Amino acid sequence: MQRVERRVVVTGIGLVTPLGIGTQQTWEAAIAGKSGVGPITRFDAKDLPCRIAGEVKGFEPANFMDKKEARRNDLFIQLGLAATQLALHDAALPTDKPLGDRCGVIVGSGMGGLATLEDTHLTAVNKGHRRVNPFFIPSIIVNLVGGQISIRYGAAGVNYAPVSACATGNHAIGESMRHIQHGDADMVITGGAEATITLLGISGFTAARALSERNDAPEKASRPFDKDRDGFVAGEGAGILVVEELEHARKRDARIYCELTGYSATADAFHITQPSGTGAERAMRLVLEDAGLRPEQVQYINAHGTSTPVGDIAETKAMKAVFGDWAKKGLMVSSTKSMTGHLLGAAGGVEGAFTALALYHGIIPPTINLDNPDPQCDLDYVPNHAREVRIESALSNSFGFGGTNAVIAFRRMRD
């Protein structure tokens, strides 16, 4: 029997980002064009070429969990739990009873519990194996952010964790959409969480020559599509969405931000760190097909836009190839990484939330620090100031190391 695909909507958003703790604080900072990037305080970075990052400021685990739970979980899990609590509250869902077996959890991370891994390795080397915490493994493995969410809220449906570098969050959202469309779930908690601002993490990305070294002006360091960009800025945080089948949401009179209408996933099959652009192009073409959209029906793209010299040009070329004349005539593009830095596995969750909020509020967040546009990046990137404009359809792009690509299509809720 042929399945009838069900409609999927976003009903809850939870954000913990370098711009703030909570969706309202983060969104207000984003549309104000504020930067969340500053000097690294998480560890002593004075000897590193890159000494800046987008840290979450003022995060207190005790506001979201007891001390014992906090001690047992790496920061990436803590951030994911916090963002989930915020998302469920935003969705007006009860948290005092199990969400049940029709509610799933698909939340990923690019690198998992890196800080705990570093600290525990030192403990084992310097103090012996008997001093290793028995919660070490559950604290570092990627699927335990979703596992802890499931346990806490009694979400007994589908539960797994995509791990696809910087495309993780989008893969999580897209797979959640598919599970609901196909009738496997009525609701899924989805997105990503990441916390890799550690000595090893920053050292590794620095060794790969991926990070900006604009240490004297951290708030200006993340500058996607700008001629003077010199690499991305590492960020941390979590972006969680509650996505539901439309009638399920309507029955409980939920507030609906927007509808999810398309998902695509491709590979460059080219290089571990350098994008070819062809995979991104195919992903955007496929998501338009999946969503039933013509190119000129898309008004906004939340770009991957990492602020790397090669990546921004490749993405721009891919958008021009897919959208043709419309790319310059009517398409608005912005990179919110200019404000948050690059949240790696959490990027898709946060940027999916920004895209949903842009549709709901009729405001496009800006690309800040776009002061000297790269001639090869010649689209409308909504430079430096948010733009009030009602849009109907939008895409969110995420492209990761290894050449993995995922794109989500969103539509303003109309009926």
Give pLDDT tens digits for 59-93.
Answer: 999 999 999 999 999 999 999 999 999 999 999 99
**Strand, coil or helix: what is 2?**
coil
Buried b (16+ CB within 10 A) or exposed e, 60-76: ebeebbeeebbebbbbb
CA dihedral 146, 147, 148, 149 (to 10 degrees): 50
**Strand, coil or helix: what is 296?**
helix
Q: Is the pLDDT of residue 273 over 80?
A: no
Q: Is the pLDDT of residue 3 over 70?
A: no
DSSP conformational letter for 348: H
The answer to whether the beta carbons of residues 225 and 375 sit under 8 Å apart is no
Among all residues, which ones are annotated catalytic? Answer: 166, 304, 342
The stretch 349-367 carries a mean pLDDT of: 98
The pLDDT mean for the chain works out to 96
> Quick one: what percent of the chain has pLDDT higher than 90?
95
What are the distances in angstroms from CA 259 to CA 35, 179, 334?
A: 29, 15, 20
Lowest-confidence region among 271-275, 280-284, 293-297, 352-356? 271-275
**pLDDT on residue 2:** 43
List pLDDT tens digits, range 141-197.
Answer: 999 999 999 999 999 999 999 999 999 999 999 999 999 999 999 999 999 999 999
Q: How many residues does the chain have?
A: 415
Q: What would the CATH number be for the domain defined by 8-251?
A: 3.40.47.10
**Domain definitions of the chain by residue range:** 8-251, 262-411
Q: How far apart are the first and last CA of the chain?
A: 28
Identify the band that residue 401 occupies on the pLDDT scale cut at 50, 70 and 90: confident
d(CA 291, CA 177): 12
Identify the band that residue 276 occupies on the pLDDT scale cut at 50, 70 and 90: confident
The stretch 327-340 carries a mean pLDDT of: 98
The stretch 260-267 carries a mean pLDDT of: 97
Measured in degrees and rounded to the nearest 5, phi and psi for residue 297 equal -85, -10
The answer to whether the beta carbons of residues 196 and 234 sit under 8 Å apart is yes
Identify the band that residue 4 occupies on the pLDDT scale cut at 50, 70 and 90: low
CATH class of 262-411: alpha beta
Nearest to 332 by CA among 260, 401, 380: 380
More confident residue, 414 or 360: 360
d(CA 142, CA 387): 37
The stretch 386-413 carries a mean pLDDT of: 96
d(CA 299, CA 334): 11
Identify the band that residue 1 occupies on the pLDDT scale cut at 50, 70 and 90: very low
